[in-house]
Structure 1
Amino acid sequence: MDLSLPRRASLKGRDFITLADYDREDLYFLLDTAEELKRAQACGIPHRVLEGKSLGMLFGKPSTRTRISFETAMTQLGGHAQFYTAADLQLAHNETWIDTARAMDRYLDGIAIRLYNLPYGESRRILTTMASAARIPVINMLDDGEHPCQVLADVLTVREKLRTFEGKKIVMSWAYSPREKSAGVPQGWVIAAAILGIHLTLAYPEGFDLDDDYMATARRLADESGARIEIVHDMREAARDADIFYAKSWGSRTLNQEELAARDQELRQWIVTDELLDLGNKYVKFMHPLPADRNLEVTDAVMDGPRAIVYDQLENRLHAQKAVLALLL
């Protein structure tokens, strides 16, 4: 299968750590390739473009969708995926990340890493350290700053459902969870929206601001693309006329446990219900990266109802990641 779509440059050999390293043409090249590979899979057209290639997958935290989708992606592309945790490698005996990257570089064609829940910024430092030490592509399967593979799949899903971003209102909203979760998805979304010229409404309670560096980068890119990124602190206001309502929880970097506990009842009101979605466009769709805390972030009625496209969204993790692997490896 020929993946050499007409464009100015190849993506081969590049890292996929942050979407900010990619421009509008790059992202559309990835999205177009994902659609092409998805169509090929549906039609039974062989596309084993990574025959004989191996991807090393290093997981600092377990995952359902990430592990299964990456392993399946490599199989469908004709390659092989290896799974390991730090405990499986000499990292468990204090081998450095640099030496680990150099060893993997001599055996593999790509490295994929899922690493977070370290002091903020440390996971990204490790990813960039490994990328500097290795000559092969390093792919971010989620760090403390961003989840670029999830966001690429999200954008693919939105484009499939809406057919265009122009004139559409896409909402990324905070939702309640007792568990502190990564802000990687919303931070990736502000970057993607800014690059692609998307109107994105960010909704979250006071005290749950995103990383200042991500917001500054998003504003700079939005000035170039004409994107609009709005911030509101009212879930109902955000939902009005929405075409896509995307919700997930993320942790606060400024509020302590006592402050969060004092606001618990207020924060529990940030839940997606059918009544909330009734404020949106007639055909509004609900998205969530999963796993969802049911009846905390979103009600069962929404999750299992006709507005939810969460399973189409998770399927597109497979196709988006196949595009990343096929073009970078």
Structure 2
Amino acid sequence: MNHFYGKSYLKEIDFNKKELEYLVYFALHLKDLKKKNIPHKYLENKNIALLFEKTSTRTRSAFTVAANDLGAHPEFMGISDTQFGYKESVADSAKILGSMFDGIEFRGFEQATVEGLAKYSGVPVWNGLTDDWHPTQMIADFMTIKEVFGTLEGKKLTYVGDGRNNMANSLLVTSAILGIDCSIGAPADLQPAKEVQDIAHKLAEKSGSTLEITDDVEQAVKDADVLYTDVWISMGEDIDVKARVEKPLPYQINDSLLEKTGKSETVVMHCLPAFHDKQTKMGKKLCDQFGVEALEITDDVFNGKHSVVFQEGENRLHSIKAIMAATLGDLFIPDYLFE
């Protein structure tokens, strides 16, 4: 019996609190097995398709290593490697891939694409990121919070910066599902869409989570246990770069903002990549253009004692492994755990 077997992992709101918590705890268990060099080949001889429309470091690395650790065989297919979406429809591609592979990861633009893959492939499909949601990141993030504080209960997470992206969406709804207080501090025109807010508030009514969407950054970060940010310019966006950089500058995570939480044990998180210095071509170009040393987070905070960014990054591996094993592995995960 496996409660998750055959299910796709497309967005957080498809799962309830107990299910998401199970994936977090299972990820922690698999991390422990990895550290102790204990084999855990729950997907022996399975074949996994890794379908990427968008480039990636952590998602590609995590799915590849996770598949290998679980005994599966991953096959990477980039945007130039297939006819997907160009000469072949999502439905046609899904049917073929599903007939050859046991599971499919997709990282790309439209949520409808990953939903279509799941609908037509007949195998579990895992969302490695779309413009709307980033669900695999959520298991890694809340796994990290659990590691740091020992519990998720009673914690407040504050996300600042560009609040209209997939990370803000996912953090808001996942916090609401798990019963964690969540604030989004962002300029009025960079706050989560109304439909996302409506979903989150309905979930919060059930869990008891307190949600706040505000352009008052000091109010947003007050009493935060976790400060979270992401890049202000997402992949594929056609935007006014000047406006996108200048509007969120007051929401930059720096020492001053960190102090405004009022808590000495606040941790800082970022899903990466981050423009915390000028050591990348794009980071240098933007920082020089706008006369700043960093964008969404300063280097001293990014690499400071409050940062758990690289712990969070490593946890992408263990969380993705948990999602893949739970939905495709021959595991005993009884239904009564989720009643």
The reply to whether TM is greater than 0.5 is yes
- Where structure 1 has 5 or more consecutive residues not aligned to the other structure, the ranges are 117-122, 176-180
For residue 272 of structure 1, the aligned residue among 250, 253, 271 is 253
Please give the alpha-carbon distance, in whole angstroms, between the structure 2 residues aligned to 1:250 and 1:205: 12
Within-5 A mapping of 1:73-152: 73-91=66-84, 94-116=87-109, 123-152=110-139
In the alignment, structure 1 residue 192 sits paired with structure 2 residue 174: yes
Q: CA 1:135 to 1:272, structure 2 compared with 1: closer, same or farther past 3 Å?
A: same
Q: Deviations over 1:242-275 (max 9, x none)?
A: 21111124569xxx956x7468545323211112
Please give the alpha-carbon distance, in whole angstroms, between the structure 1 residues aligned to 2:171 and 2:244: 27
Give the 3-state SS of the residue equivalent to 1:87 in structure 2.
coil
Q: CA 1:171 to 1:182, structure 2 compared with 1: closer, same or farther past 3 Å?
A: closer
Give the 3-state SS of the residue equivalent to 1:91 in structure 2.
coil
Within-5 A mapping of 1:272-291: 272-280=253-261, 281-291=263-273
Question: Is residue 53–residue 80 contact of structure 1 (8 Å, CA) maintained in 2?
Answer: yes
Give the 3-state SS of the residue equivalent to 2:55 in structure 1.
coil
Displacement, 1:141? Answer: 0.4
Please give the alpha-carbon distance, in whole angstroms, between the structure 2 residues aligned to 1:81 and 1:171: 36
Please give the alpha-carbon distance, in whole angstroms, between the structure 1 residues aligned to 2:246 and 2:75: 44
Q: CA 1:129 to 1:266, structure 2 compared with 1: closer, same or farther past 3 Å?
A: closer
Displacement, 1:206? Answer: 1.3
Please give the alpha-carbon distance, in whole angstroms, between the structure 2 residues aligned to 1:185 and 1:67: 18
Question: Is residue 56–residue 83 contact of structure 1 (8 Å, CA) maintained in 2?
Answer: yes
Please give the alpha-carbon distance, in whole angstroms, between the structure 2 residues aligned to 1:88 and 1:240: 48
Mean CA deviation greater in 281-290 or 228-237: 228-237
For residue 226 of structure 1, the aligned residue among 204, 208, 213 is 208
Give the 3-state SS of the residue equivalent to 1:81 in structure 2.
strand
Displacement, 1:34? Answer: 0.6
In the alignment, structure 1 residue 70 sits paired with structure 2 residue 86: no
Match of 2:288 in 1: none
Please give the alpha-carbon distance, in whole angstroms, between the structure 2 residues aligned to 1:224 and 1:265: 37
Give the 3-state SS of the residue equivalent to 2:189 in structure 1.
coil
Q: CA 1:325 to 1:264, structure 2 compared with 1: closer, same or farther past 3 Å?
A: closer
Please give the alpha-carbon distance, in whole angstroms, between the structure 2 residues aligned to 1:266 and 1:59: 31
Displacement, 1:165? Answer: 2.6
Please give the alpha-carbon distance, in whole angstroms, between the structure 1 residues aligned to 2:323 and 2:222: 34
- How many percent identity over aligned positions? 33
TM-score (norm 1): 0.88
Aligned length: 307
Within-5 A mapping of 1:9-48: 10-48=3-41
Give the 3-state SS of the residue equivalent to 1:200 in structure 2.
strand
Match of 1:178 in 2: none
- Where structure 2 has 5 or more consecutive residues not aligned to the other structure, the ranges are 277-293, 329-339
TM-score (norm 2): 0.86
Give the 3-state SS of the residue equivalent to 2:188 in structure 1.
coil
Match of 1:119 in 2: none
Please give the alpha-carbon distance, in whole angstroms, between the structure 2 residues aligned to 1:285 and 1:172: 12
AA aligned to 1:200 is C
Displacement, 1:215? Answer: 1.5
Mean CA deviation greater in 22-31 or 232-241: 232-241
Q: CA 1:54 to 1:215, structure 2 compared with 1: closer, same or farther past 3 Å?
A: same
Displacement, 1:228? Answer: 1.0
Displacement, 1:240? Answer: 2.3
Question: Is residue 182–residue 251 contact of structure 1 (8 Å, CA) maintained in 2?
Answer: no
Displacement, 1:149? Answer: 0.5
Give the 3-state SS of the residue equivalent to 1:82 in structure 2.
strand
Q: Deviations over 1:72-104 (max 9, x none)?
A: 001111111110123211337511111110000
Question: Is residue 183–residue 251 contact of structure 1 (8 Å, CA) maintained in 2?
Answer: no
Q: Deviations over 1:113-164 (max 9, x none)?
A: 0002xxxxxx111111121111101110000100000111101111111122
In the alignment, structure 1 residue 303 sits paired with structure 2 residue 285: no
Question: Is residue 144–residue 182 contact of structure 1 (8 Å, CA) maintained in 2?
Answer: no
For residue 156 of structure 1, the aligned residue among 140, 143, 151 is 143
AA aligned to 2:154 is G
